[in-house]
Chain A
């Protein structure tokens, strides 16, 4: 058990190291000189100034030294550097500022999706091929086929414009405007993101559950005279949720970097929109910082998922 945890932790560190190398190497692959981003294109290039800037940003060092410095700052000082473009803006501050929006959206989307997907998937397996299963399956198919920005626009039109219940754009921070105002601005984008996830999750639960319901221990549980709902949720759900958890972990990570479009539709100050603007303005340190941050969260979430398996299936604990 302890040995396994240690192993997982070692793997986590190794993966993070690989992530940092690859992300840093990305800088080299991008075309163009960072100097072009730092100095306005119109400025006459005084070689002395250029050299000074190169030294200031450490661009004159060789790649290994630059990587070492960057990693050092990142790990020891949680400093991912200072943006070339918006001079003086620290990458870390920008991430800190933007992360709550994106993380909250991703989390809410996953929670909303699970809230609906689990009962729907369980019902679908229990009532396999009956009318209610057919109906929910068709509904999930529709939810899966609608791109989330279309869902976002439709939701915005219905709840913000037609019914005038919620704001169509913008973001209220919990710390400033309070929880209720925050929920009002977050519920539509989160729901738009949740639809696809819900469809994926419910299909997974349904198919795994159908397999589980064939197991002998389900027959024994039923033969004890337990109510069907008890058998479904207390006996069948847990063994049926291993692949669900894997996908929830992967998709949560994907949502962190993948809310760009939704953030644009609802004009939200999230990580995705920052990443988008950083890419278009060649703000390499910013891109690097955000990428390495998302990757780190992703790796950590997936390690947590691995640990969650152990909670769910006691047989894994032994090995």
Chain B
């Protein structure tokens, strides 16, 4: 974020320095016939005003449930939520659904993953943009229309007046996601959740949408949580990154720090699974061996241990706490962190014992062939 520094100084002058959002030990469990699914299992994080937090993890790591839990959009009857979510000094979990409706759209808004399904197919785009403007801000139909057209223009939709009367099916995927962003921005929220905003889009469009989000965030001085499975997406666009695995944050650090000095083997594996442009041709895509963990009966000890190239006996029995690294703001949960002497020893020991996960990670064997369990592409 090129202007993040400038914004931060403006912020400290005008606003209190306490974070806009503080999440403490948040747990979201789903009661299912098969057992309790611990989708989010004790997440603690905070986001300062005007900053962007990236939440990264595989499918099923709990990142989407986390963002919906913070916004309190999980309303199914089988949801159990514990912990605390403090937004702007207010306890969100204590609020009634009625009170939450005054926060949704106005204070917090969300851009959803799939623009093809998150707009109502039978309602004109214009009405979907103006209905909450009119509801929350109580403006006239005409003023709401003007605001909406202006918003469409600001998300760079050509001919916004004409597009106002379109139905969603008359627009492309990228255009629909622009509309979704415009809808989310319409009432000027202070906090924006972007839940895999580009996963359903073409690569070229992805880039435009991410730039648009980043620019709108700077222009409107919004705080943002960007949820993605792609470390590449958050690399240049976030101030801080939280890596989630099995409903827990396993590593959290300022973005630069994370890429420069990652400690958790899962973070390393996620990064390794991104193909690099200077790899030789036909390099095998590095997959994270094994499957994402079962959230009903998670593995004992560290949840990543069955797939971890560094795993030692201790990892299978003791759950590592999220502890501080020497660098400020950097936390990780690992007994044998990447880049430490313990980690190096663990790696060497596993390599010597020909632990398949380690062999695969070292590129010595193909993970998919070696692991009967079947590999899952990470990242």
**Is A226 an interface position by the 8 A CB rule?**
yes
Taking A222-B73, A239-B122 as contacts, is the C-beta distance between A216 and B102 under 8 angstroms? no
Q: Please provide the chain B residues from 118 to 139 with a CB less than 8 Å away from any CB of chain A in the complex.
A: 118-123, 128, 131-132, 135-136
What is the distance, in angstroms, from B39's C-beta to the closest C-beta of chain A?
Answer: 16
Q: Which residues of B contact A239 (CB under 8 A)?
A: 120-122
Asked if A225 and B183 make an inter-chain contact with CB atoms under 8 angstroms apart, the answer reads: no
Q: How many A-B residue pairs have CB under 8 A?
A: 78
Task: State whether A313 and B132 are in contact (beta carbons under 8 Å apart), knowing that A217-B117, A224-B109, A225-B105 are contacts in the complex.
Answer: no
Pairwise interchain contact B122-A227, C-beta atoms closer than 8 A: no
Contact A225 B167 (CB under 8 A): no
A312 in the interface, Cβ–Cβ < 8 Å? Answer: yes
For window 52-70 of A, CB contacts with B under 8 Å fall at: none
A11 at the interface (CB under 8 A from B): no
B contact patch SS:
loop
| Closest chain B residue to A311, Cβ basis | B122
B77, B102, B110: the one contacting A223 at CB < 8 Å is: B110
Closest 8 CB pairs of A and B: A225-B104, A225-B105, A224-B132, A216-B117, A217-B120, A224-B105, A314-B167, A216-B118
Assess whether B244 is interfacial by the CB under 8 Å rule. no
A98 within 8 A of B: no
Q: Mark A236-268, 1 if CB is under 8 A from B, else 0.
A: 001100000000000000000000000000000
Contact B112 A216 (CB under 8 A): yes
- Complex contacts, A234 vs chain B, CB 8 Å: 123, 131
Which residues B155-190 have CB closer than 8 A to chain A? 167, 169, 180, 183, 187
Min CB distance, A276 to chain B, in Å? 43
Chain A residue contacts of B101, Cβ below 8 A: 225-227
Bound state CA distance, A318 and B168, in angstroms?
Answer: 12
Kindly state whether residue A184 has any CB partner on chain B within 8 Å.
Answer: no
Is A297 part of the contact surface with B, judged by Cβ < 8 Å? no
Interface centre among A219, A224, A234, A239 (most CB of B within 10 A): A224
- How far is A225 from B110 in the complex, measured between Cα atoms in Å? 11
How long is the Cα–Cα vector from A225 to B114 in the complex, in angstroms? 19
Interface centre among B100, B101, B109, B187 (most CB of A within 10 A): B101
User: Taking the complex as formed, is A230 at the interface, i.e. its CB lies under 8 A from any CB of chain B?
Assistant: yes
B132: A residues at CB distance < 8 A: 224-226
Q: Is the CB of B118 within 8 A of A313?
A: no
Contacting pair B183 A315 (CB below 8 A): no
Q: Mark B88-105, 1 if CB is under 8 A from A, else 0.
A: 000000000000111111
* Residue A220 is within 8 A (CB to CB) of chain B in the complex: yes
What are 23 inter-chain pairs, A to B, with CB distance below 8 A? A216-B112, A216-B118, A220-B112, A220-B119, A221-B128, A223-B71, A223-B73, A223-B112, A224-B105, A224-B183, A225-B106, A225-B187, A226-B135, A227-B101, A234-B123, A234-B131, A238-B122, A239-B121, A314-B121, A314-B122, A314-B167, A315-B121, A315-B122
CA distance A265 to B283 in the complex (A): 83
By a CB distance below 8 angstroms, the chain A residues around B119 are: 217, 220
Interface residue A215 (Cβ < 8 Å from any Cβ of B) = yes
Query: Is there contact, CB below 8 Å, between B104 and A223?
Result: yes
- Decide yes or no whether A235 CB sits under 8 A from chain B: yes
Residues of B contacting A235 with CB < 8 Å? 120, 123
On whether the beta carbons of B120 and A221 are closer than 8 Å, the reply is yes
Contact A312 B122 (CB under 8 A): yes
Alpha-carbon gap, A220 to B110, bound state (A) = 8
Q: Which residues does chain B contribute within 8 Å of A313, judged by CB atoms?
A: 121-122
- Would you list which residues of chain A between 115 and 158 have a CB under 8 Å from chain B? 129
Q: A219, B123: Cβ atoms under 8 Å? A: no
Q: Are A315 and B169 touching (Cβ within 8 A)?
A: yes
* Contact partners of A227 in chain B: CB under 8 A: 101, 135
Closest to A212 in B: B120
Q: Which residues of A contact B122 (CB under 8 A)?
A: 238-239, 312-315
With A and B bound together, what is the CA distance between A312 and B123 in angstroms? Answer: 9
Give chain A's interface residue range (CB within 8 Å of chain B): 20 to 34
When C-beta atoms are compared, the residue in chain A nearest to B135 turns out to be A226
Q: Please indicate the chain B residues that have their CB under 8 angstroms from the CB of A223 in the complex.
A: 71, 73, 104-105, 109-110, 112
A235 to B102, CA, bound (A): 19
A220 and B180 form a contact (CB under 8 A): yes
Contact of B114 with A216 in the complex, beta carbons under 8 Å? yes
Q: What 10 additional pairs, Cβ within 8 angstroms, besides A225-B104, A230-B135?
A: A216-B112, A220-B112, A221-B120, A222-B73, A223-B104, A224-B104, A225-B100, A225-B135, A226-B132, A226-B135
Within 8 A of B (CB), among A4-32: none
From A129, which residue of chain B is reached at the shortest CB distance?
Answer: B77
CA distance A7 to B147 in the complex (A): 42
B102: chain A residues within 8 A (beta carbon) = 225
Alpha-carbon distance between A115 and B360 when the two chains are bound, in angstroms: 65
B112-A225 in contact (CB<8A): no
Complex Cα–Cα for A226 and B120 (A): 14
Indicate with 1 or 0, residue by residue over B329-370, a CB within 8 angstroms of chain A CB atoms.
000000000000000000000000000000000000000000
Which of A222, A230, A318 has the most chain B CB atoms inside 10 A of its CB? A222
How close is A227's CB to chain B, nearest CB, in angstroms? 7
Shortest C-beta distance, B278 to chain A (Å), equals 39
C-alpha spacing A227/B73, complex, angstroms: 14
A217 to B176, CA, bound (A): 12
Once the chains bind, are A314 and B169 in contact (CB under 8 Å)? Answer: yes
Minimum CB distance partner of B119 in chain A: A217
Please name all residues of chain B whose beta carbon is closer than 8 Å to the beta carbon of A238 when the two chains form the complex: 122-123
Chain A residues with Cβ below 8 Å from B117 are 215-217
List residues of chain A with CB within 8 A of the CB of B180: 220
Interfacial chain A residues near B121, Cβ < 8 Å: 217, 239, 313-315
A219 engages B73 (CB within 8 Å): yes
CA A184 to CA B174, docked complex, whole Å: 59
User: Which residue from chain B places its CB closest to the CB of A238 in the assembled complex?
Assistant: B122
A235 to B131 Cα, complex, angstroms: 11
Task: Name the A residues within 8 Å of B128 (CB-CB).
Answer: 221
Q: Which residues of B contact A221 (CB under 8 A)?
A: 120, 128
Closest to B121 in A: A315
* Given A224-B104, A224-B131, A219-B118 contact (CB < 8 Å): yes
From B136, which residue of chain A is reached at the shortest CB distance?
A225
Q: Distance in Å from the Cβ of A153 to the closest Cβ of chain B?
A: 42
How far, in whole Å, are A243 and B100 apart by their CA atoms in the complex? Answer: 34
Q: For chain B residues 317-335, which have a beta carbon within 8 Å of chain A?
A: none
Least CB distance, B71 to chain A, in whole angstroms = 7
